Amino acid sequence: MLTPADTALVIVDVQGKLAQIMDEKEALFHHLATMVKGAKVLELPILWVEQLPDKLGSTIPEIADHLAHLQPIPKNSFSCYGEPAFVDALAATGCRNVIIMGIEAHICVYQTVRHLLDKGFHVEVIADAVSSRKAHNKVIALEKMQQCGAALTSTEMVLFELQGVAEGERFKQLLSVIK
């Protein structure tokens, strides 16, 4: 079971015009925002990554507005793990469990998941918070990531797993985020 003490959230490349052409983008944006708000309630470390921000633009406001206390980590490799600043930031969290969301599922999310698994992390892909331009690429990416050892989860599933109990102020805050 995941716990907030040893789990980090990684947000991959939800940027500019590319984000606007994702399959089922409205549902994607909703789940991404819900997950960010929930991660803040649970006080998870959040690593926010942008692919070539000078060319692809900034993270969409639906996400960035909830991350004003953080700075994105720029990268040029498809895998977040190819960026030393990401590797250092993840190491600084001390977490060995990573939950991951973003775009595109079959490129940057997939390659990041593979590297994290290769480095011994337990990785869970938030299936309703990843997407690709074409639906079939997301389906194939989820299948391949699972075959490689990643677990699949959903926004609500992982938030309630991390919460663990149906009591307390944090639980009430989480319910308001999910509703």
**pLDDT the model gives residue 179:** 85
| Residues linked to residue 99 through DSSP beta bridges, in sequence order | 9, 124
User: 93 exposed, middle or buried (CB, 10 Å; 0-12, 13-18, 19+)?
Assistant: middle
Domains belonging to the chain, first-starting first, are 4-178 (3.40.50.850)
Q: Assign 135 to helix, strand or coil.
A: helix
**pLDDT the model gives residue 5:** 97
Q: Would you name the residues annotated as active-site residues?
A: 13, 75, 108
Q: List the 7-12 sheet strands across, edge first.
A: 73-75, 46-51, 7-12, 97-103, 122-131, 151-153
Per-residue pLDDT reduced to its tens digit, 114-159: 999 999 999 999 999 999 999 999 999 999 999 999 999 999 999 9
Q: Is the pTM of this model over 0.95?
A: yes
Q: CA nearest 3: which of 169, 162, 175?
A: 162
